[in-house]
Amino acid sequence: MKLQTTKMPLIAFFLLITLFSFAQKDFQGKAYYQTKTTMDLDNWGGRQLSEQQKKQIQERMKSFLEKQYILTFTQSESMYKEDEKLEAPGGGGRGFGMMSSFTGGAQYKNIKEKQMLQDQEFFGKQFLVKDSLPELKWEMGTETKQIGQYMCFKATAVKKVDEFDWSNMRRKEKKEDDEKKQDSTDTAEKSDDPMSEIEVPETITVTAWYTPQIPVNNGPGEYWGLPGLILEVSAGRTTMLCSKIVLNPDEKDEIKKPSKGKEVTRAEYNQIVKDKMAEMREMYGGRNRGGGRGR
């Protein structure tokens, strides 16, 4: 009993020290995340490829599907951006030009103001996508697991998927009636709209692991809203896992609210993408119909 009575004040003391350090005005932390998105090649017409060919394609796509990010955070603000020093030369290659346009740049979150700003470049034009922070209805669980030196708790939520979320895009499942209609459709007309063969699910389940040991209401990407830093997220085919945390680094980075680019909402930006894709279909579709197969 004597041991317990002397131990409890010590635990309370260290807890107060921890909470005090996070309450400081100049508090800052950095969390390093490794992200990985899997791609089902069979779903994209890869059933006829050999396993060796699939491995070669996956290796070429690795620099695009596997990235590293840094979340710089305080109690109320954060900046989440790719660790460009680790990006392989050449990026994802020429074939990923359009898909890269769906991937945002640096992302700023302000928890107090519930605001999110994201740098976005599309076909050489700079945009600043401004929206309110998406609020997920987290279901708190009691399941725990250790990530590094931190004890984490599980939480789940259902998230609405953005229509241009490339990581969750998939080919539409064709029904027998649809296949018959497609067989009777002219090949040139079918090629006019490649996006007509693609869909995204309306919602996906998000599983997050957060640690109360770092009592900040933040996490990687758009995720936030739990009583502790989110160290791992699984959403659709993408996983974000924290590999390193530095609290109160000697050299602190200034978290600046982005201001460059044309300010648009997410809905407005998506419409800009749709209009550009329609323009490209018209341009290349008309060229194909006019030129035929010959050169």
* C-alpha angle 289-290-293 in degrees, rounded to nearest 5: 70
Which H or E run contains 79?
A: strand 77-82
Tokens, residue 213 = 């040991």
CB 237 within 8 A of CB 37: yes
In the block, tokens 């996006």 appear at: 195
- pLDDT score of 277: 80
* Helix ranges, the chain (H): 2-23, 51-65, 97-101, 176-183, 187-190, 266-291
pLDDT in tens, 128-138: 999 999 899 99
pLDDT at 16 over 60: no
pLDDT at 219 over 50: yes
CB atoms within 10 A of CB 196: 10
CB 234 within 8 A of CB 221: no
Res. 149 pLDDT band, cuts 50 70 90: very high
Q: What is the rounded distance in angstroms from the CA atom of residue 26 to the CA atom of residue 17? A: 15
pLDDT at 243 over 70: yes
pLDDT in tens, 89-125: 444 444 445 555 556 789 999 999 999 999 988 888 8
CB 155 within 8 A of CB 289: no
* Most confident option among 32-41, 84-93, 201-210, 276-285: 201-210
Tokens, residue 289 = 């119909």
Q: What is the rounded distance in angstroms from the CA atom of residue 77 to the CA atom of residue 187? A: 51
Tokens, residue 114 = 């519930």
First to last CA, the chain: 91
Res. 52 pLDDT band, cuts 50 70 90: low
